[in-house]
Structure 1
Amino acid sequence: MAAEADRPLTDPETMFGSDTEHDARVRRRLAELAEERGISVDDVLGQLNAALREGDALLPTGSGDESGVESAGLPRSAVVAEVVERRPADEVWAVVSLHHDGPPVAQRSPCAGPEPCPWRRDATLRTFPVDAFRFSARTSYPDSDHRFQCHSSTAEAPRICAGWLLRGASGNQSVQRLLQSARLKAPVLPAEVELYDNYAEMAVANGVSADDPLITSCRQVVKYDDSDEFV
């Protein structure tokens, strides 16, 4: 690791002070990354600095041209995921497993609207089929490396579920490292929204038997509040 790996990429307060062509390209690219992720330019810089601290590469490993290929250290959302498994839960819904090489992106808060996040206590029960909750239970097993995606995700735009990050991901060590390093932005829980305390509670409320072997191994997590840290 380089001796200067912990030094910030640039000072956010002074980075726009130059009018060189290089600086203009940097500003445009930072703005593009921020728009893709739905975050601010300062947040993009924070993620880049976190990648530096982790020793991740920030530049493409190819010939150095401007083809648009980015390394895993750069935040992006235009990386299409590969579908590796599809398990039908009923005639409409299926649980789809994806392989995604791009940086992870999460919903900013638990979904509302006609199909709200199933982790919300005010969500209509059984909007999704029972088998969908059974098949996805492994995302909250202790030491799981599976992630619970938002129900609105697609292979073209995969997003991690905000409710799961807040209540069901404490046993997922890779996700916790991403959160702690700021490479994955933690979602915000609105003050008026209450979530189920853990995956098993949510699944049972939506029709899964409490003694179903697929959910008995789910991690029983403590309830977070706004002051809690992800550990």
Structure 2
Amino acid sequence: MKVIKVIETRAAGADHQVVTFESSTEGGRCYRRKPCKKCPWRKDSVGEFPAEAFLHSARTAYDMAQSVFSCHSTGTDKPSTCAGFLMRGAAHNLSIRLSYIRREIGDDLDENGHELFESYREMAIANGVDPDDPILKPCR
């Protein structure tokens, strides 16, 4: 049984928001295997989301972070971890590292032929975040 608890909702521009939630599921973590059509980690998706959204989500790329970057297309009804994040931004994320140790995430990730940003910082800057913004300094 999946239990979802919304912790925080923050506006990100006029038409977007960043939702922080906790979820627990039996059987492990839900995650996307391939980047979705408008995945912000895809270089061909620049501009789909406002810079403010990347400021709100930057903490997912901090060393030992416990928050994860979720797929925007699955929403809060069926939350899952973003494939692009898993492939490019989660190496230092504590929650994701533990999920790999518990074998909740497999070796079945696929870029699906899309060019992805190499880091959260690179993605955020490409989407309008000032490179000198202090929120990006701890990003790995």
Q: TM-score, normalised by structure 1?
A: 0.56
Unmatched segments (≥5 aa) in structure 2: none
Distance in 2, matches of 1:97 and 1:181, equals: 23
Match of 2:16 among 93, 105, 111: 93
TM norm structure 2: 0.91
Of 36, 39, 43, the residue aligned with 1:111 is 36
Secondary structure at 1:166 match in 2: helix
Tell me how far apart the structure 1 counterparts of residues 104 and 110 of structure 2 sit (CA, whole Å).
19
AA at the equivalent of 1:213? P
Which has the greater radius of gyration? Answer: 1
Identity fraction in percent: 38
- Paired amino acid for 1:90: G
Which residue does 1:81 correspond to in 2?
4
Indicate if the aligned counterparts of 2:68 and 2:95 stay in contact, CA closer than 8 A: no
The counterpart of 1:144, out of the listed 33, 57, 65, is 65
Which residue of structure 2 lines up, in the alignment, with residue 198 of structure 1? Answer: 119
Give yes or no for the alignment of 1:208 onto 2:125.
no
Larger RCO (alpha carbons 8 Å, 6+ apart) = 2
Aligned to 1:188: 109
**CA separation in 2, counterparts of 1:88 and 1:187?**
33
Q: Matches of 1:92 and 1:131 in 2, distance apart?
A: 11
Aligned equivalents of 1:182, 1:131: Cα separation in 2: 33
Deviations 1:9-63 (A, max 9, x none): xxxxxxxxxxxxxxxxxxxxxxxxxxxxxxxxxxxxxxxxxxxxxxxxxxxxxxx
Match of 1:8 in 2: none
Q: How does 1:63-78 map to 2 (within 5 A)?
A: 78=1
CA contact (8 A) 2:88 2:120 kept: yes
User: Kindly tell me: are residues 191 and 153 of structure 1, through their superposed partners in 2, closer, same or farther at Cα, counting changes over 3 Å?
Assistant: closer
Question: What residue is the counterpart of 2:83 in the other structure?
Answer: 162
Q: 1: distance between equivalents of 2:60 and 2:111?
A: 24
Point out where structure 1 has 5 or more consecutive residues left out of the alignment.
1-77, 220-231
C-alpha separation in 2, matches of 1:191 and 1:158: 21
1:172 aligns with 2:93: yes
CA distance in 2, matches of 1:191, 1:130: 25
Q: Residues 173 and 126 (structure 1 numbering): CA distance in 2 closer, same or farther, change over 3 Å?
A: same
Residues 155 and 190 of structure 1: is their aligned pair in 2 closer, same or farther, counting only changes over 3 Å? closer
Give yes or no for contact 2:35–2:112 (8 Å, CA) kept in 1: no
Instruction: Return the alpha-carbon distance in structure 1 between the equivalents of residues 21 and 10 of structure 2.
Output: 12
Distance (whole Å) between structure 1 residues aligned to residue 112 and residue 14 of structure 2: 36
Which consecutive segments of 4 or more residues in structure 1 shift more than 4 A? none
Shift of 1:79: 0.9
The superposition leaves residues 166-193 of structure 1 with CA deviations (integer Å, 9 ceiling, x where unpaired) of 1100111231131243222345224622
CA RMSD, Structure 1 to Structure 2 (Å): 1.5
1:135 corresponds to:
56
